[in-house]
Structure 1
Amino acid sequence: MAVTHHARHTITIDAPAQAVYAIIADAADWPRVFPPSVHVEQTPLGEGEEILQVWATANDEVKSWQSRRRLDPQALTIGFRQERSTAPATSMGGQWQIRPLSKARCEVVLLHDFTALDDAPENVEWINRALDHNSEAELGRMKSTAESAGQLGELLCTFEDRVRIEAPSAEVHAFLWRGEQWQERLPHVARVKLTEPQEDIQVLEMDTIARDGSRHTTESVRVSLGSSRIVYKQLRVPPLLTAHVGAWLLEESEGVTTAVARHTVVINPSSVTLLGPETTVAGARAFIRDALGTNSLATLRHAKEFTERSPAR
């Protein structure tokens, strides 16, 4: 009989318990909040239950699993159980507990229970190490997010650009997904290193060249969700940001594709002066909008040129 192992992680947060509960409940927003989370598909089932499909990093690997959650906003608890676990775990579940300490302070308890493949010590150690790293990262970022919630409206920035492409979405998707070819296809990409841990998952590291000639290195996890969507999360963000997630969205009608590049970023307010001693958060927002939008539009315009002159056209 498999041995069930347990883990417990806690943190105290200077924010109302209901506000912290809301952060945990909104799983679709986890990639912006929690460092390990790459993407979450959230499907309500009714009566407080839902299914989550989660992509996240664990011990520098990208994992994906499906969980069922039960939310209880009155008790301030959220229970979860993986329906399909990823090796070396053979089962995983647990519960979030939010305990009010006062009107403006609470304790968060994160409990896990799991079984490991063959109950091998190295598998148990791998899972415990991943739980320790991810749980501490999630709780730490949850604390900073909840305690700075009043500033989020100014620091959070979502924007998108779109290009009309006279080609099927599958061809546009192929151009965007084959990132290992971007060094030859995109002038602003100087170096690419791409690995595919699974068919629909990539880790993309690349150097991009800004208009001022400076070079910037980024590393992202990308997930392909059919031929109409590629979502990604930047694992290494520049000092100006604390989070950057995005998506390539493709909508086809009668052989014509509307391609959308969407970005969501959170500005690091302590770093805006890197752009100049007098720079404000508003100035940083404008700078980031221009820098990211310029590169995304360049990629989409090259996708347009490439696919529209394809021999199949």
Structure 2
Amino acid sequence: MHHTSHSVEVDAGAGVVYGLIADAVRLPLFSPPHVHVERLEFDGTRERLRMWATANGEVRSWISERVQDPRARRIEFCQTLPQAPVESMSGAWIVEERPGGTSRLTLLHDFTVVGDHPGDVAWAELACETNSRAELAGLQRLAACWTRLDDLVLSFESSVRVRGGAELVYDFLYQADDWPHLIPHVTRLDLTEDSPGVQVMSMETMDVAGGTRATESVRICFPHAERIVHKQTVPHPLLAGHTGEWSVVPDETGATVVSQHSVVLREEAVERILGPGTRLATARRLVREEIGRGSRATLELAKNYAESAIRVL
């Protein structure tokens, strides 16, 4: 059994910090390594989660069970279906109250590796070290500005009605490597899919001023549910986090396609990028406009793709 322990001091109360780690579904927005979390079961104390995260440059997935104890401000977890070379993985999040309204957040890991081969042990240790530090740092930054979270966190969506098959819309969204030929504002896109349904994407888009901006994302595709969730691992410079989802909802006469986004503004970058004196409200509006513009353009092109295919058939 191998053990790791990592801690940070947080300039926020223990209750605030515990609330952030208890909301597992939102962790991808706040924690850099987390890509997507689906809550499979929850009875108020015990929960079962399907999780995707990056580890040493790879996208990994597992089933995790967590037990929440808000009174002790402790959450214990155990991977029930770890991914090789990890054989077992468990641990705990612990929040301790400190003087002056601050707190200490600790992340513990206990793990074994198949065969205990030195190379695999080193891989797992590096993943725990890198991810733990990134998770704690992300939560530390967010908790420190918890009184302004309503101004820093923004969620919005766009939708379009399609008179065509849902599977055609999903095909357009899934085949993102074709987007540079189909979507005018996408100037470059490199996509790999080493595991079925897990796409790693590097994309360059054009803004309204004619400049280009590069982002990197991981997309998790659910073809049977006609959903694609995504997390920008290298987001817009104004953002500390960006997650979203494409979903196609079929009905008797067609489908509704929805593009949803959640972002966290990087407060310290607002004036540096947008100019001295720029208020958070202005940054929120500009981010929503820029992301929304790209989403609406993609939705309209997906609609045209599906409806044109129906006419040709």
Q: TM-score range, shorter-chain basis? A: over 0.9
Q: Give the aligned partner of residue 197 of structure 2.
A: 200
CA distance in 1, matches of 2:84, 2:253: 41
Q: Give the aligned partner of residue 94 of structure 1.
A: 91
RMSD: 1.4
CA drift of 1:267 comes to: 1.1
CA distance in 2, matches of 1:236, 1:179: 18
CA drift of 1:42 comes to: 1.6
Q: Is the 8 A contact 1:8 1:111 kept in 2?
A: yes
| 2:24 counterpart (2, 6, 27) | 27
CA drift of 1:97 comes to: 1.4
Q: Give the aligned partner of residue 287 of structure 2.
A: 288
SS at match of 1:310: helix
Q: Give the aligned partner of residue 297 of structure 1.
A: 296
Q: Give the aligned partner of residue 267 of structure 2.
A: 269
- Seq. identity, %: 39
Q: Is the 8 A contact 2:168 2:305 kept in 1?
A: no
CA distance in 2, matches of 1:270, 1:67: 34
* Pairs within 5 Å for 1:176-191: 176-191=173-188
Amino acid at match of 2:12: A
Q: Give the aligned partner of residue 212 of structure 1.
A: 209
SS at match of 2:309: coil
CA drift of 1:276 comes to: 2.9
CA distance in 2, matches of 1:221, 1:78: 27
* Pairs within 5 Å for 1:247-266: 247-266=245-264
Amino acid at match of 2:28: P
Q: What number of residue pairs does the alignment pair up?
A: 310
TM, length-normalised to structure 1: 0.95
SS at match of 1:251: strand
Q: Give the aligned partner of residue 235 of structure 2.
A: 237
Q: Give the aligned partner of residue 106 of structure 2.
A: 109
* Pairs within 5 Å for 1:46-85: 46=43, 48-85=45-82
Residue deviations 1:234-277, cap 9 Å, x none?
Answer: 01112211111111121111141111111111111222222233
Q: Give the aligned partner of residue 121 of structure 2.
A: 124
CA distance in 2, matches of 1:30, 1:202: 20
CA drift of 1:136 comes to: 0.5
- Cα distance change of structure 1 residues 5 and 222 upon mapping to structure 2, 3 Å threshold: same
Structure 1: which 5+ runs fail to align? none
Q: Is the 8 A contact 2:68 2:75 kept in 1?
A: yes
Amino acid at match of 2:72: A
CA distance in 2, matches of 1:197, 1:75: 41
Judge which range, 275-284 or 168-177, deviates more: 275-284
CA distance in 1, matches of 2:290, 2:305: 23
TM, length-normalised to structure 2: 0.95
Residue deviations 1:45-79, cap 9 Å, x none?
Answer: 42611101101101111011100111111111111
CA drift of 1:14 comes to: 2.1
CA distance in 1, matches of 2:43, 2:290: 42
CA distance in 1, matches of 2:128, 2:24: 18
Q: Is the 8 A contact 2:16 2:146 kept in 1?
A: no
Q: Give the aligned partner of residue 139 of structure 2.
A: 142
Amino acid at match of 1:27: A
CA distance in 2, matches of 1:279, 1:149: 20
Amino acid at match of 1:71: Q
Structure 2: which 5+ runs fail to align? none
CA distance in 2, matches of 1:81, 1:222: 25
CA drift of 1:214 comes to: 0.5
CA distance in 2, matches of 1:205, 1:256: 31
SS at match of 2:233: strand
CA distance in 1, matches of 2:15, 2:147: 15
CA distance in 1, matches of 2:39, 2:225: 20
CA drift of 1:103 comes to: 6.1
- Cα distance change of structure 1 residues 83 and 43 upon mapping to structure 2, 3 Å threshold: same
Judge which range, 127-136 or 264-273, deviates more: 264-273
CA distance in 2, matches of 1:230, 1:205: 16
Judge which range, 70-79 or 101-110, deviates more: 101-110
Q: Detail structure 1 runs of 4+ shifted over 6 Å in the superposition.
A: none
CA distance in 1, matches of 2:212, 2:239: 17
Q: Give the aligned partner of residue 310 of structure 1.
A: 309
Q: Is the 8 A contact 1:169 1:227 kept in 2?
A: no
